[in-house]
Structure 1
Amino acid sequence: MSTALELWRFMRARRKFWLAPILLVLGLFGGLIILAQGSAVAPFLYPLF
């Protein structure tokens, strides 16, 4: 969690708020990949791609 806090402090100090949507989308895709690996949710995720 300290990495996320450090990233937030960097974005706030350097006014790089445009990075937030990019990181959010990357996080969502990472979550989908984790869910798609052998879970019961996997068949519902395949139509998205």
Structure 2
Amino acid sequence: MKGKLGSAITNLTSAKELLGFVWRGRTWWLTPLVLVLALLTFLVIFLEGSALAPFIYTLL
């Protein structure tokens, strides 16, 4: 369980750095990319143990 929590915290830190880069650099065109990456990250983390996991991995 600690491994998943540490991974989630690392992902949040990376997301915070990416959003900070977008904010400072005025590169708003990256916003859709950030949102899609966040959605895929949450799908992989939260559906990892479910029966839908094999189908999600085929989409990626």
State whether TM-score is above 0.5: yes
Q: TM-score, normalised by structure 1?
A: 0.56
Stretches of structure 1 lacking an aligned partner (at least 5 in a row): none
Given candidates 28, 32, 36, the residue that maps to 2:43 is 32
TM-score between both structures, scaled by the size of structure 2: 0.49
Aligned length: 45
Across the aligned residues of Structure 1 and Structure 2, the Cα RMSD in angstroms comes to 2.9
The answer to which structure has the higher helix fraction is 2
2:21 counterpart letter in structure 1: F
Alpha carbons of structure 1 residues 19 and 36: separation in structure 2 relative to 1, 3 Å: same
> Which is greater in Rg?
1
Larger relative contact order, structure 1 or 2 (CA cutoff 8 Å, min sep 6)? 2
The answer to whether residue 55 in structure 2 is matched with residue 46 in structure 1 is: yes
Give the deviation of 1:36 after TM superposition: 1.8
Q: 1:30 to 1:8 in 2, by over 3 A?
A: closer
Ranges in structure 2 where 5+ consecutive residues have no aligned partner: 1-11
